[in-house]
């Protein structure tokens, strides 16, 4: 869990996420009139799914003063 040192936010942050592994991938039209508009969904398959994240800044105040906190 993370906390913004400037405003105290512990809920929403801006960052990056990376996921990798075998997946089932589904493609569906999102019912718009443009042929290029699609939605995607995927579901992990197997136990080899890996993910990582990087918190960059607070969503609410844009501070980069973010600390990782332990859950009680």
What tens digit of pLDDT does each residue of 4-16 get? 999 999 999 999 9
Q: Which residue has the higher pLDDT, 41 or 6?
A: 6
With beta carbons less than 8 A apart as the criterion, state whether 10 and 2 touch.
yes
Q: How many CA atoms lie within 13 A of 57 on its CB side?
A: 6
In the numeric block, the tokens 């809920």 are attached to: 11
How far is it, in rounded angstroms, from Cα 13 to Cα 22? Answer: 27
Mean pLDDT, to the nearest integer, of 6-27?
89
pLDDT score, position 34: 56
Mean pLDDT, to the nearest integer, of 16-24?
85
The residue ranges of DSSP E strands in 8-72, in sequence order, are 13-20, 23-29, 38-44, 50-58, 66-68
């Amino acid at each position: 869990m993370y906390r913004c040192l400037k405003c105290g936010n512990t809920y929403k942050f801006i960052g990056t996420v990376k996921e990798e592994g075998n997946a089932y991938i589904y493609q569906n039209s999102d019912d718009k009139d443009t042929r290029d508009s699609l939605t995607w969904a995927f579901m992990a398959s197997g136990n080899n799914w890996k993910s990582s994240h990087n918190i960059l800044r607070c969503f609410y105040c844009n501070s980069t003063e973010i600390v990782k906190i332990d859950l009680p």
